[in-house]
Chains A and B, each alone.
Chain A
Amino acid sequence: MGVRAEQSPAVGEDNAELLAAAARGDQAAWNELVARYGALLWSVARGFRLSTADCADVVQNTWLRLVENLDRVTEPERLAGWLATTARRECLQLLRRAGRRRESDVPPPEVVDDTPPPDEGLLVAERDRALWRAVDQLSDKCRQLIRTLMTTPPLSYLEVAALLDMPVGSIGPSRSRCLEQLRKLAGEL
């Protein structure tokens, strides 16, 4: 598959309308944005192996920043990328803060990976179970890439590249390599 184009103009126009309505205080429009991009922010945070509480902070701070900037979004078609980048920055800040606290001998914060265990019976197929376990066993780089590629809604390769600070041309090859790793970990597929 080639490089995905930026999201369709329709999404951009639609985002522009929703942002404008939210800026006027339209709660339904805002809720629609939250519904559209909430899962994206969640998986960006999960990509850093953050606990549920820390993921929640990251997601909430990202939404607060969007509220703060409702009048200033100049490229609504790139809202997904802006949100994902903001969330990533929040994650890095949070990890940095955690590191500093450890450094200064204050009790370490809970940076616990409490991603739900893969075997909680929610997954019908054994194959899916193996797959989900395998994502967690990937190298950090591959896990972040795969987590970023599997978001809902999907990000364009340009957005993924900007988000992970990778050349856009390397996304495709890295994706193949990481999926290969994933297949080995999950067994066949």
Chain B
Amino acid sequence: MDDDELIERLRAVSAEVDPVPVWVELAAQAALATRRLDEELAELTHDSWADTPQLVRSDHGPHLLSFEIGAVSLDVQADAGVLRVLVAGASGDLVVESPTGERTAPIGADGWVSVSDLPRGALRLRVTGDDGRIVVTRWFTA
């Protein structure tokens, strides 16, 4: 068997032994439903984990993320399954979305809102801006 044949053999064996589980494929198909066209996407402007070098281990505090679009900003602190979010430029409810569902919490008068018992995996946040437009953050992992 030459090198090319060996790689081809591995490709075949891998497909047979370790295929993509059906539930993973179904979840992937369902991901299209997360697309909505009428919302503005708030970009990630800061991520404390991305911005500190991997070998610096002194930062045991919460995971800090900031999202922004126009006048709306969301500053997120994630720690031990709890999200605390400071919302500016929006009021009403904060919606925490996961690929399989969502929950809602009221934004306080001071702009703070917290949500506990977060689901596993990716999350995104949705608010209604003061100008009436709906803003959703990029997906992130708390």
The digit string for B3-32, where 1 denotes a CB below 8 A from any CB of A, is 110110111011111111101110111011
- Total A-B pairs in contact (CB under 8 Å)? 130
Task: Determine how close the nearest CB of chain B comes to the CB of A82; give it in whole angstroms.
Answer: 16
Stretch from A5-13, A61-69, A162-170 at the B interface = A61-69
For A39, the chain B residues whose CB sits under 8 A away are 15, 19-20
Query: Please, which residue of chain B has its CB at the minimum distance from the CB of A134?
Result: B10
Q: Which of B128-142 contact A (CB under 8 A)?
A: 138-139, 141
Complex-state Cα separation, A63 to B25, whole angstroms: 10
Complex-state Cα separation, A65 to B6, whole angstroms: 34
Q: Which of A12-52 contact B (CB under 8 A)?
A: 22-23, 25, 27, 30-31, 34-35, 38-39, 42-43, 46, 52
A96 an interface residue at 8 Å Cβ cutoff?
yes
For B17, the chain A residues whose CB sits under 8 A away are 116, 118, 120, 122-123, 132
For B57, the chain A residues whose CB sits under 8 A away are 100, 103
A142 an interface residue at 8 Å Cβ cutoff?
no
Partner of B139, one of A68, A103, A115, A176: A68
Q: Are B31 and A64 in contact (CB under 8 A)?
A: yes
Q: Are B31 and A67 in contact (CB under 8 A)?
A: yes
Q: Is the interface of B mostly helix, strand, loop or mixed?
A: helix
Q: Are A96 and B54 in contact (CB under 8 A)?
A: yes
Query: Please, which residue of chain A has its CB at the minimum distance from the CB of B47?
Result: A93
Q: Are B25 and A38 in contact (CB under 8 A)?
A: yes
Q: Which 5 A-B pairs have the closest CB atoms?
A: A150-B10, A63-B31, A30-B32, A104-B60, A34-B28
* Contacts A42-B18, A42-B19, A67-B34 known; 10 new A-B pairs at CB < 8 A: A59-B20, A59-B24, A63-B28, A67-B31, A67-B35, A100-B60, A103-B57, A116-B17, A120-B17, A152-B15
- Residues of B whose CB lies within 8 Å of any CB of A are 1, 3-4, 6-7, 9-11, 13-21, 23-25, 27-29, 31-32, 34-35, 41, 49, 54, 57, 60, 80, 99, 120-122, 138-139, 141
5 interchain pairs, CB-CB under 8 A:
A1-B3, A55-B24, A56-B23, A68-B34, A179-B7
